[in-house]
Amino acid sequence: MLLLKTVISVVGARPNFMKVAPLHKAFQRYTDRVRHLIVHTGQHYDKAMSKIFFDDLELPQPDYYLGVGSGSHAEQTARIMVELEKVLAAVRPDLVIVVGDVNSTVACSLVSVKMGIRVAHVEAGLRSGDRSMPEEINRLLTDAVADLLFVSEPSGLAHLRREGVAEAKTHFVGNVMIDSLIHYREKARGSNTMKQLGLTPRRFTLVTLHRPSNVDAVDGLEKILTIFEKIAPHSEIVFPVHPRTTKMLAQHGLAVKAASLAGLKMVEPIGYLDFLNLMDNAQLVLTDSGGVQEETTYLGVPCLTMRENTERPITCEIGTNVLCGLDVGKIVQLSEAVFAGNGKKGNVPELWDGSSANRIVDVLMSQI
C-alpha cells in the first residue's frame, strides 16, 4: 500500500487565501498520493472576513488554527514559530508551502527548515529593493532558506540568480493569484455590490490603501484626501477602508473631513468576490497593494500605485500600472488622463493563464 505524503500550506493574511486556494484545488488531482492540510496562523484575523474568504474561495476550514493575533513584528513572528513548531512536531509533514511575503511566510519557513522539513516558496524572487518594507526582509529570508522557489515573473528569476540561488531550485510557473482571478471572475460577476453601492460600470475609481508609509502619518493622509477632492468630481470614489486606515484617520483628526467629502464612498472591508467585481468594473484603481497591481494588469484596468517602488515590475513594464508615490500632481494628472479615455494600456504577462497552481503541484509531486 502506497503511503500518503503530507503537505502543509500556510495562510496568514488575506492575500494568502487567494494563493493557497488554487493550490488546494490542484492537489485534489493527487488525493491517492498526498494529504494536503491548511494551517491558518491567524496573523490577520477577523472572524467575519475569514469566513467570507474561505466561503468565497471554496476552501475547507483550516486543519489547524494557530490564533497568533496582532502584535509587533517580533511578537507576531515569535508566536507563529512557537505554535507552528507544535503542529509540525505532531504531523511531521513531508513539505511545507509558504506563499507571499507576510510574517507568517518567514516564520513558518524558519521553523520548518530547522526541523528538517523541506520548504516551497510560492511567489519567490520578488524584490522592491526597499529594505524599509518588512515584506522585503521576509522575501529575502524566505528565499534564502527555501528548497523550492516558484516564480511568478521574469524579474524573480533574475533576482534569485543574482543572489546565488541554484537554478535547479527555481521554477518559473506564473501567478497563482491570477489562477484565482480567472477561476472566480464569472462567479464574481454575480455579486450585487455594484447595485448596493449605486455604481455604474467604468464610472468610478476603486481605492485600496493600507501601507504605513501612506496611512500612518498625517501628511500622507492629507495628501490622499486632497487627491480624492480633486478627482471625485470626475469619477465617484469607492474606498473599502482597511482597519489601520480607519484608526489613523481618527487618530489624526481627519475622519470627519474624509466622511464629508462629496463623491467619496467609504465602506467596510469586503470579501474577495465583491472586491473582484468592483475591480473588474472600475474606471481606475488607486492602490498600494502588490496583488492589486497584478490583478488590474490582468483585467486591463488602469492602476496608479501610491508607492515609490514595486516588487512586481512586470505590471509597469507591460501591464497597466504606473508608480506615482504620493505625488498629488502626478496622480491627479494621470487620473484625468484615464477619465478622458487616455489611460495606460497593457498586456497580460507570460504564464498568467490560470494554470500556475497545476504547474507548481506537478513539480512538487515529482519531488516528494
DSSP string, 221-280: HHHHHHHHHHHTTTSEEEEEPPHHHHHHHHHTT-HHHHHH-TTEEEE----HHHHHHHHH
Of the candidates 119, 257, 114, 275, which has an alpha carbon nearest to the alpha carbon of residue 193?
Answer: 275
186-339 in CATH: which number? 3.40.50.2000
- How does DSSP classify residue 192? -
Instruction: Provide the terminal-to-terminal Cα distance of the chain, rounded to the nearest Å.
Output: 17
Using CB atoms within 10 A of its CB, is residue 61 exposed (0-12), middle (13-18) or buried (19+)? exposed
Q: Report how far residue 250's alpha carbon sits from residue 145's, in angstroms, rounded to the nearest whole number.
A: 41
Q: Report how far residue 290's alpha carbon sits from residue 277's, in angstroms, rounded to the nearest whole number.
A: 18
Q: Which triple of cell numbers denotes residue 203?
A: 464610472
pLDDT at 47: 64
pLDDT at 45: 63
Contact assessment for residue 275 and residue 299, using Cβ atoms and an 8 Å cutoff: no
Task: Say what percent of the chain tops pLDDT 90.
Answer: 89
Cβ count near 248 (within 10 Å): 21
Contact assessment for residue 331 and residue 232, using Cβ atoms and an 8 Å cutoff: no
Q: Any idea which residue has 491517492 for its cell?
A: 32
**Low-confidence winner among 59-73, 218-232, 344-358 (lowest mean pLDDT):** 59-73
- Residue 73 CA from chain centroid, whole number: 18
Residue 215 has pLDDT above 80, yes or no: yes
Average pLDDT, rounded, for the chain: 95
Active site residue 159: no
pLDDT at 87: 98
Q: If residue 6 lies in a helix (H) or strand (E), which one and from where to where?
A: strand 5-11
pLDDT at 296: 98
Domains 5-174+352-365 and 186-339 share a fold: yes
Residue 164 has pLDDT above 90, yes or no: yes
Q: Give mean pLDDT, residues 351-366.
A: 98
pLDDT at 21: 95
Name residue 286's beta-bridge partners. Answer: 207, 304
Q: If residue 151 lies in a helix (H) or strand (E), which one and from where to where?
A: strand 148-151
Instruction: Kindly name the residue from 44, 121, 159, 210 that is annotated as catalytic.
Output: 210
Q: Report how far residue 161's alpha carbon sits from residue 229's, in angstroms, rounded to the nearest whole number.
A: 45
- How does DSSP classify residue 133? S
Q: Give mean pLDDT, residues 320-338.
A: 98
Q: Does domain 5-174+352-365 have CATH number 3.80.10.10?
A: no
Name residue 75's beta-bridge partners. Answer: none
Q: Helix (H, G, I), strand (E, B), or coil: what is residue 363?
A: helix
Q: Report how far residue 103's alpha carbon sits from residue 320's, in angstroms, rounded to the nearest whole number.
A: 29
Over its C-alpha atoms, the chain yields an Rg (Å, rounded) of: 20
Q: Which triple of cell numbers denotes residue 142?
A: 524566505
- β 236-240/5-11 pair status: unpaired
b/e map of 306-329 (b: 16 or more CB within 10 Å)? Answer: bbeebbbbbbbeebbbbbbebbbe
Segments in the chain forming alpha helices (H): 14-27, 47-56, 73-91, 103-114, 134-145, 154-162, 176-188, 193-196, 212-215, 218-231, 243-251, 255-260, 272-281, 290-299, 314-317, 328-339, 356-365
Could you give the strand order of the β-sheet that contains 5-11, starting from the edge strand earlier in sequence? 64-65, 34-40, 5-11, 95-99, 118-124, 148-151, 170-172
Q: Report how far residue 96's alpha carbon sits from residue 281's, in angstroms, rounded to the nearest whole number.
A: 37
Please give the single-letter amino acid code of residue 220: G
List the domain boundaries for the chain: 5-174+352-365, 186-339
- pTM score: 0.95
Q: Give mean pLDDT, residues 97-101.
A: 98
Residue 1 has pLDDT above 80, yes or no: no
